Structure 1
Amino acid sequence: MTAEVDVVFPCLNEAGALPAVLDGLPRGYRGIVVDNGSTDGSAAVAAAHGAIVITETRRGFGAAAHAGLLAATAPIVAFCDADGSFDSADLARVVAPIVDGRANLVLGRRRPQLARAWPVHARMANAYLARRLRRATGADLHDLGPMRAARRADLVALGLNDRRSGYPLEMVLAAAAQHWRILEVDVDYRPRVGRSKVTGTVRGTATAISDMARVLRERAR
C-alpha cells in the first residue's frame, strides 16, 4: 500500500520506545526511522516493526530530520520524536488541516498528561522561544514542539540549512517568510521512555536554546 503520510522519527537509542511508537501509527502512515548513531539496536527494532530505516552519520536533530525528509516519498511528511513522549495516533490530528487545505504547516502544541512529562526548565525555555517567534513572525504560536506536518514538496523547497537543534525553528521562520498558513493543534505529551538527551536535561535544553537563538539571529540579518 502506498503511504499517504511519511512520518520521520530522528532516532538515537530509542529501542525501548520504538515498538509502541511505530505500531501506533494511523493507517496509511509509514514510519521513517533515521538512525543517528544508536548503539542499542534501534535500527533493527524499527525494521522489525515495519519502518523504513536510514542512517545519518552526521550527528544532530536537524541532520536526522532532514535526511528523513529527503528519503520520504509520500505527499505529506510529518515529524515526531521517537521516545514515546507523543501518542502516534495524534499525528492524524496534526495532518488533518494539511489534507483539508486549512494550513500549510501544522505544529502539535504539547499538553502534558503528567507534570513530569515536561520539566520546568524545558517548559520555560520553550515559552521564551515561542514569544520570540511570535514577535518575529506574527504567527499565534505557543510551542516549538517536534510533532508537525506539511507537504513534502513545500518543505524541500524551503531549503532548510540548520542541522542541529535549530532545525524546527528554522522551519517555522522560513515558512512564515513564505507567508504559509501556520496552525497549532493540541496533542498529548507524556513522560518519555528511557533517559532524555535534550529537554530532560539542563545541558540539553541550554544547547537547544543556543542553537535556536543562533537561527533567530541569522534570520534577523
Structure 2
Amino acid sequence: MTTAATARTTPEIPLRRAAVVAGAALLAMTVLAGVSFAVLNSLVVAGDAAQTARNIRGDELLFRASACGFTAVAVLDVVVAWGLYGLLAPVDRGLATIAAWLRVGYAAAFLTAQGNLLAAANTPAGGDPGDVSAAVTAFQHGWDVALVMFGAHLFAVGWLVLRSGYVPAPIGVLLMIAALGYLVDSFGKLLVAGYDAEVAGFTFLGEVLLMAWLLWRGRRL
C-alpha cells in the first residue's frame, strides 16, 4: 500500500530542476515581453491610424523585432508550463496537468494573435493606414481573449501552491488574486465597450514573488 501511494505521488520531474527552469524562463520572458511591449507602444499612436502606419513603416525592422520577441515569449510560456507542472505535480497531478495545458493553450492563442502583427508589417506602403491600425488592434484583442486561459492557469497554480507545503502559502493567495485581475480585465473588455480599468496592473505581485522564490529557493528543493 505504501509503495503504491508513493508511486502515485512521486514527481516525474525533479523539483529542483523544475523550479530552476520555471524561474529562469519566467525571468527571460518578463524581460522580453517588457521590451517588446515598450517597442510596440512606442510605435502605436492611439486614435491615429495614419501616424501608427507611418511609425511602423518607418521602423519596420524594430516592429518586426518586437513581433519576434513576442514569439519567443510564447515559446517560453510552454517551458514555464513544463516547469510548473514538475514543481506542482506532487500536490495534485491532475490539476497540475490542467494548469499546464491552460498555459500551453494561452501560448498558442497568443502566438495566433501575433499573426496580426505580421499582417500589419506586410501592409503595402501605399495601402490603407486603417488596415495597419486594425491589425494591431486585432492583435491586442486576441491577446485579451487569450488572457482568460492565462487567468485560469494562474488561479490553478495559486491553489496548488497554497496546498503544496513547500512553496510559501501567501504566494499562492497572491497568485489567485493576480488571476482574478486578469479575468476581470479580460471579461471586462469582452462585456463593456471602452473598458480600460487594467486591474491586472495592480494585482501582479504574486507572479513577481513566485519568480523570485523559484530563482532564490528553487535550487535548494
Q: If the TM-score is normalised by the length of the shorter chain, which range does it land in?
A: under 0.3
Structure number with bigger Rg: 2
- TM-score using structure 1 length: 0.27
Structure with greater helix share of residues: 2
Structure with greater strand share of residues: 1
